[in-house]
Structure 1
Amino acid sequence: MTEKCRCGDHHAWAAPNPQDRPAAARQPLLASTLATEDRAEEAGRLDPTGRVTCRTHRRWLHDCVSSPVHANPAIGYRWCRSCDHQALVAVDELTGEVTIHCGLCGKSPRSRANRELVELCRRSLALARSGRFPERAAA
């Protein structure tokens, strides 16, 4: 049995549970993109912050970017430097809009890291859509 906190995130003290990773098995494009990015990262050809998939959650980045695991004050991902607090991410899968704002001051932290994170989430969402609706991607 694995220990897991109620927030649903993987923590350093929690062993991975295979039941937590069902998405890749049902989504062939996700599975192949995860494998490709894993290999590229291990070979040093891809920076861990340049992925459109999440190595921890084994999902598309836009699906789990709101997890506290993805807040990184050192590089500024999901971080409001003026409040020194993690920022919130909203992903609207219908419109494709991705926004980041601070829950304390309400402002959108405008760092390079946050701009890159928004772009990665948009790319992740576009890939996920093309995997779900391949006939629309070809049109």
Structure 2
Amino acid sequence: MTATIRTFRPGTTQAAGATRGMRRHDEPVRLAGRRLAPTLAAEDRAEHERGLSPHERITCRLHRRWAHECIASPQHVIPVTGHRWCDDCATAVTVAVDELDGRVALACPRCHRTPSTRATEQIVRTCQASLGAAGRLARRPAATQPHERFARSRTA
């Protein structure tokens, strides 16, 4: 399996290479899209009416996407709060989200360490919740490796 890497077209919130038309094999994407709009609206209301912290949202108010899809954007670096920031190197931290197994990794490009801050823990927690809400965590079949499936079919 391969991981999906998203880049944004300049001046838009639509991923590069994204198309408007849906094909049958895009069904999971369509279902995830149905979840996004109501979740965005609910979090917008909660933020304005009940004081939900913007850092605890699983959707992005700025990009109008799931948080795990745009956390790598430079606009999500906040040195004052430590979000995606290495204090030791005064550098933006890189973030990688693996949609297949739900792992979220942050590392400073200079010192190669993960900042041990509340902000880092919050980013990991929020991205994992975003992945779950979007339905992007891969469903693993009983045989996870191609050679295992092949071996089972030969013994049957």
Shorter chain as denominator, the TM-score bin is: 0.7 to 0.9
Structure 1 runs of 4+ aligned residues shifted over 4 Å read: 6-10, 21-26
Specify every segment of 5 or more residues in structure 2 that has no aligned partner in the other structure, as ranges: 1-6, 21-28, 140-156
SS of match in other structure, 2:93: strand
2:96 pairs with one of 90, 101, 107? 90
Q: Which amino acid aligns with 2:111?
A: C
Matched positions, count: 121
Q: Distance in 1 between matches of 2:85 and 2:53?
A: 19
Q: Which amino acid aligns with 2:38?
A: S
Task: Look up the match of 1:123.
Answer: 129
TM-score (norm 1): 0.76
TM-score (norm 2): 0.68
- Cα distance change, pair 101–9 in 1 and its aligned pair in 2 (3 A): farther
SS of match in other structure, 1:90: strand
2:52 pairs with one of 40, 46, 56? 46
Q: Distance in 2 between matches of 1:9 and 1:25?
A: 26
Task: Look up the match of 1:79.
Answer: 85
Contact 1:41 1:48 in 2 (8 A): yes
- Cα distance change, pair 94–26 in 1 and its aligned pair in 2 (3 A): closer
Superposition pairs of residues 2-17 of structure 1, within 5 angstroms: 8=9
1:45 shift after superposition? 2.9
RMSD across aligned positions (CA): 2.8
Identity over aligned residues, as a percent?
Answer: 41
Task: Look up the match of 2:73.
Answer: 67
1:100 pairs with one of 90, 102, 106? 106
1:110 pairs with one of 112, 116, 123? 116
Structure showing greater Rg: 2
Contact 1:24 1:31 in 2 (8 A): no
Q: Residues 17-73 of structure 1, C-alpha deviation per residue, up to 9 Å, x if partnerless? A: 5x7498899711111000000011111430111100000110000000000000100
